[in-house]
């Protein structure tokens, strides 16, 4: 066949039409792959990894996540390395551990004098995508700015202790569509600053936060009236819902009703909760378990609406969707109220990623760490070469795509007291163990070791029984800390 034959001639024979069709198909595929994928990144606050219906742990109702999981790569051992708000968020945005990104505690007026906030100079994954022509939207909780005086007028900013702050445009790291706040836990009356809102004019809303945010996310995805993003550009949208964070009672009744007539007796199934006992943890669990699970169901419902929109708009195949959380929730396990401890309920988070035709749906026990998310996503999206050298996380993109690749042997655990970067708790989680070592000024060093295989609820500290394991894991921990320039190693044992 002549190479210069006309298209009409080319189509004349049956064989020719097949060739022409497959040629067109491959062109289409090439043009499709030429446009990088969209990203929708959804992360509610304080949703533990156990609170996923399909995992058969908490008796929670999550039909949308169950269905989503069947089409996703589910990382069953994902953790938040520093399981509290701002440190997680900073690791997510910068790909760096807290001692490198300076967010060593929650952002509030007590940590502000120590410069605890996301650094404007850090190059976040969103900065990279911005430079690659993406439209970027951020909806919901941000919590990466230090409050400054005079504090924003709102219920959780008191002269003695302030939490909430506006994020000025120069600190938004490439997000051109903004509808966010620092931290504010009034889920039925949330507040937001839109893209152009001045600091003194936040928007006050009377609607359950996740529902309001899903409404807006749907408009963003549809690009209603062309007002939300550039139509011809890929987009990345973050939806950072506040529930199932406290206060648990701030949840629509329709989600609580789905759990009737069950009581705490049916809903608390973790043996590390003092289910019937007269302790603060037991009381907390009995009082709040139903509302906590109902909140997760509400988040699931709103997430389902977002997924439906992607499908309806024909964007499902071109969009990577991630669902995770900033940390978990003890809710009475080990007599702990919430998070910021090394226990599974606090550290383990959902991590589901869907990319139809590219990432094969399956479960994997990869020991992913929070700073790994940044380089992994950028490489998946085709921007592996744009990952800054300062990023400390590891890309698992090829492992996501092929199931093969280098696997980390452990995950770091961190807690730093405000203003004392060399002190506090450090630890390590492997496929079998969790080690936690606590250094407090003037107190002996404390060692906790849990055998998570033989004791999945971490009821027993076996540090004294297994000194060899403690020694081996401590060496591994020290490797992580040296790599991260963590001054904890230099603190003398009391």
Of 61 and 85, the one with the shorter C-beta distance to Ca ion is 85
Of 340 and 410, the one with the shorter C-beta distance to Ca ion is 340
User: Could you tell me the smallest distance in angstroms from the CB atom of residue 348 to Ca ion?
Assistant: 14
User: Could you tell me the smallest distance in angstroms from the CB atom of residue 326 to Ca ion?
Assistant: 4
Of 326 and 379, the one with the shorter C-beta distance to Ca ion is 326
Of 45 and 57, the one with the shorter C-beta distance to Ca ion is 45
Of 77 and 327, the one with the shorter C-beta distance to Ca ion is 327
Of 176 and 326, the one with the shorter C-beta distance to Ca ion is 326
Of 40 and 85, the one with the shorter C-beta distance to Ca ion is 85
Interface with Ca ion (CB under 5 A):
45, 85, 326
Query: Which residue number has the CB closest to Ca ion?
Result: 85
Structural contact between residues 376 and 354, judged by C-beta atoms closer than 8 angstroms: no
User: Could you tell me the smallest distance in angstroms from the CB atom of residue 417 to Ca ion?
Assistant: 18
User: Could you tell me the smallest distance in angstroms from the CB atom of residue 327 to Ca ion?
Assistant: 6
User: Could you tell me the smallest distance in angstroms from the CB atom of residue 281 to Ca ion?
Assistant: 19
User: Could you tell me the smallest distance in angstroms from the CB atom of residue 81 to Ca ion?
Assistant: 14
User: Could you tell me the smallest distance in angstroms from the CB atom of residue 80 to Ca ion?
Assistant: 9
Of 87 and 427, the one with the shorter C-beta distance to Ca ion is 87
User: Could you tell me the smallest distance in angstroms from the CB atom of residue 344 to Ca ion?
Assistant: 17
* Residue of 23, 172, 97 whose CA lies nearest to 372: 97
Structural contact between residues 435 and 448, judged by C-beta atoms closer than 8 angstroms: yes
């Amino acid at each position: 066949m002549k190479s210069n034959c006309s298209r009409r001639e080319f189509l004349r024979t049956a064989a020719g039409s097949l060739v022409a069709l497959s040629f067109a198909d491959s062109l289409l595929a090439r043009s499709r792959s030429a446009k990088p994928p969209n990203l929708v990144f959804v992360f509610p606050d304080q949703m533990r990894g156990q609170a996923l219906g399909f995992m058969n742990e908490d008796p929670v109702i999550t039909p949308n996540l169950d269905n989503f999981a069947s089409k996703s790569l589910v990382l069953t051992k994902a953790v938040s390395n520093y399981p509290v708000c701002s440190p997680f968020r900073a690791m997510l945005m910068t790909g760096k551990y807290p001692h490198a990104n300076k967010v060593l505690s929650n952002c509030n007026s007590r940590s502000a004098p120590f410069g605890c906030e996301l650094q404007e100079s850090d190059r976040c994954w969103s900065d990279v995508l911005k430079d690659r022509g993406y439209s970027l939207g951020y909806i919901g909780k941000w919590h990466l700015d230090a409050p400054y005086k005079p504090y924003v007028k709102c219920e959780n900013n008191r002269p003695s202790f302030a939490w909430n702050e506006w994020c000025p445009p120069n600190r938004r790291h490439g997000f051109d569509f903004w509808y966010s706040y620092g931290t504010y836990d009034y889920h039925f009356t949330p507040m937001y600053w839109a893209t152009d809102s001045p600091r003194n004019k936040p928007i006050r809303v009377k609607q359950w936060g996740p529902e309001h945010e899903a409404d807006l996310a749907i408009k963003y995805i549809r690009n209603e009236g062309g007002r939300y993003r550039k139509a011809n550009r890929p987009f990345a949208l973050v939806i950072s819902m506040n529930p199932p964070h406290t206060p648990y009672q701030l949840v629509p009744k329709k989600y609580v009703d789905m759990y009737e007539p069950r009581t705490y007796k049916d809903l608390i199934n973790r043996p590390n909760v003092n289910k019937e006992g007269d302790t603060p943890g037991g009381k907390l669990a009995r009082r709040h378990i139903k509302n906590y699970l109902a909140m997760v169901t509400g988040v699931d419902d709103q997430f389902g609406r977002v997924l439906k929109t992607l499908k309806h708009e024909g964007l499902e195949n071109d969009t990577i969707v991630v669902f995770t959380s900033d940390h978990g929730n003890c809710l009475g396990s080990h007599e702990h109220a919430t998070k910021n401890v090394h226990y599974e309920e606090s550290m383990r988070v959902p991590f589901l990623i869907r990319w139809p035709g590219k990432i094969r749906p399956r479960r994997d026990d990869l020991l992913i760490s929070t700073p790994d998310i940044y380089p992994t996503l950028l490489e998946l999206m085709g921007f592996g070469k744009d990952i800054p050298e300062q990023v400390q996380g590891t890309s698992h993109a090829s492992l996501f795509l092929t199931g093969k690749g280098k696997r980390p042997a452990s995950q770091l655990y961190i807690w730093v007291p405000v203003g004392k970067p060399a002190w506090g708790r450090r630890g390590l989680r492997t496929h079998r163990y969790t080690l936690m070592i606590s250094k407090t000024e003037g107190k002996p060093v404390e060692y906790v070791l849990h055998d998570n295989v033989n004791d999945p609820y971490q009821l027993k500290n076996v540090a004294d029984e297994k000194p060899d394991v403690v020694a081996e894991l401590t060496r591994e921990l020290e490797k992580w800390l040296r790599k991260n320039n963590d001054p904890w190693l230099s603190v003398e044992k009391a």
